[in-house]
Structure 1
Amino acid sequence: MPTPTAAVYSMDQAALPESLRELVRVLGEADALRLVGAHGGARLSVPTKDKATDVHPLCVALGKSAFDKLVAEYGGEAIDLPKADSYMRELRHEQVRQCRAQGMTIDETAEATGYTRRHVMNIMGGDGRDTFTRDMFDDVAPAPRSYAGAANDPFGLSSGR
């Protein structure tokens, strides 16, 4: 049986920070996310065209085509890459919801998205909490019981006689 894979989704670019939208415009969605996934929050120096080689770390990370686009747009500049953690997390959570909507099992969904079974169940709970385990503080505490006279009968053996 083939291994299930998560569907590829198009991102809602309006939800992205402006700097990430600009990178998506230049590089495309997949390459922009690859770049911020690896270097988000850092300042990158983009080489000029004459110093852009095939062995440059950005070329190796992005691939020749995306690297050439980056150099054409930002060559010789230092760019501050945004962190896209929260957006990436929401994108992966949406993948989980779509996999489940397509009828994939929890195990298949976990394998396809790289999450654990427990995390898939938490995401499907809707609010990020584990809805399959009872919280010991959610229930109302029972009314206090009187233990008067129970000191000599801790197991309640004499009651009801």
Structure 2
Amino acid sequence: MIPLADLIDSDLLPPLLQDFERIIGLAATLDLVRAYGGLRIYIPIPARVRPDHPIAKIIGVEPLMALAEVYGAEDHFPLPKAERAILAVRNARIARAYETHKTARELAAEHHMTERQIERILAAAGVKAPVDRRQGSLF
């Protein structure tokens, strides 16, 4: 499977996460979102960045230091979940899987969704049903 960072359109990220991407890169930003998305986080001042800091354990000391230089010592602030960007990637993966002959039923089970939700995603993506090569011509 292709890594999420290779598929995400960073324009879909909230402004704070776009700034984080600029500072520490998309992969580290997404690692931080996976760990703390939707929660309030605190970035320490640069002098207090240590390898055992919980955020350093996720993204590394150097990326945390880079964030600390910009966001250090601010009050706790909420880290966005990046839902719009992550849903766009999920929907693109669903559309691609459907085009390669997975059924809506299989995709619904795989993604813990209803078949109707899958059908809506496919319709929004403009995906047509794959041609069933097993059925011969009717005429």
2:110 alignment partner, one of 104, 114, 117: 117
Q: Give yes or no for contact 2:45–2:72 (8 Å, CA) kept in 1.
A: yes
Residue identity matched to 2:56: C
For residue 61 of structure 1, what is the aligned residue in structure 2? 58
CA distance change for structure 1 residues 29 and 22 in 2, over 3 Å: closer, same or farther? same
C-alpha deviations, 1:110-132, integer Å up to 9, x for none? 7xxxx843648949944159xxx
C-alpha deviations, 1:21-46, integer Å up to 9, x for none? 11221221111122122212222221
Residue 90 (structure 2) pairs with residue 92 (structure 1): yes
Q: Give yes or no for contact 1:36–1:84 (8 Å, CA) kept in 2.
A: yes
Scaled by the length of structure 2, what TM-score is found? 0.63
For residue 149 of structure 1, what is the aligned residue in structure 2? none
More helix by share: 2
3-state SS of paired residue (1:53): coil
Equivalent residues, number: 118
3-state SS of paired residue (1:71): helix
**Greater Rg by CA:** 1
3-state SS of paired residue (1:76): coil
Q: Give yes or no for contact 2:12–2:84 (8 Å, CA) kept in 1.
A: no
For residue 120 of structure 2, what is the aligned residue in structure 1? 127
CA distance in 2, matches of 1:104, 1:30: 30
CA distance change for structure 1 residues 58 and 36 in 2, over 3 Å: closer, same or farther? same
For residue 69 of structure 2, what is the aligned residue in structure 1? 72
2:47 alignment partner, one of 47, 50, 63: 50
CA distance in 1, matches of 2:12, 2:18: 9
Residue 79 (structure 2) pairs with residue 81 (structure 1): yes
CA distance change for structure 1 residues 122 and 30 in 2, over 3 Å: closer, same or farther? farther
Which structure 1 segments of 5+ residues have no match? 130-161
Note the aligned Cα RMSD (angstroms).
Answer: 3.2
3-state SS of paired residue (2:41): strand
CA distance change for structure 1 residues 42 and 125 in 2, over 3 Å: closer, same or farther? closer
- Give, in angstroms, the shift of residue 84 of structure 1: 1.8
For residue 2 of structure 2, what is the aligned residue in structure 1? 6
